Structure 1
């Protein structure tokens, strides 16, 4: 199961994308109940492509909240086109999902 839930809808030539990413987004500064530092684990980059064309790169860091929400708009897509959204984190983990624009 993907860690990314995304919706992409086109209206008036503008595609509105809304995504929710399931990720712990630990800063590396919090401590657990035993007083040990919780290691940093956060998304460093999110990319979006529409039909293979790059439309967004977001460089993130530890200041982004747990289970981040991302919303953006772009022009040049049509209903039925494929939107690919992917992320990579500081531990090398990654995920990708694709949806059809409606």
Structure 2
């Protein structure tokens, strides 16, 4: 399991714009780089990132070989209601990881 770091506020006011930052530890091998033996290191990348807020997708990204190791993604959303944000990464070789964070929304 890869190490994921997610930074977002635990609380917000209804209608407030919040920043969400997610980083996951992953080598992101392109499949083009030779190893010490001269043979190409097999491709191993994260291909997809999705964030859902109470089950509704609010952000998604497709990643490709040009993305560096340990991909960092930052985006904004509007706090509408108390709930759970679910972060999901999918990649080559069956890689899949999901993390959840709670957000408490107070009246405006």
TM-score interval, smaller chain: 0.7 to 0.9
* TM-score w.r.t. length of structure 1: 0.87
**What is the match of residue 6 of structure 2?**
6
Tell me how far 1:76 sits from its aligned partner: 4.0
Runs of 5+ unmatched residues, structure 2? none
Equivalences for 1:42-61 in 2 at 5 Å? 42-61=45-64
Residue by residue over 1:1-37, the C-alpha shift from the partner in whole angstroms, topping out at 9 and shown as x without a partner, is 6532112224761121011101110000001111110
Say if 2:29 and 2:65, in contact at 8 Å, map to a contact too. yes
* TM-score w.r.t. length of structure 2: 0.83
1:75 is aligned, of 58, 61, 78, to 78
Distance 1:77 1:66 in 2: 33
Say if 1:7 and 1:99, in contact at 8 Å, map to a contact too. no
Distance 2:66 2:89 in 1: 16
Larger radius of gyration: 2
Q: Could you say what the CA RMSD is over the residues aligned between the two structures, in angstroms?
A: 1.8
- How many residues align? The count is 101
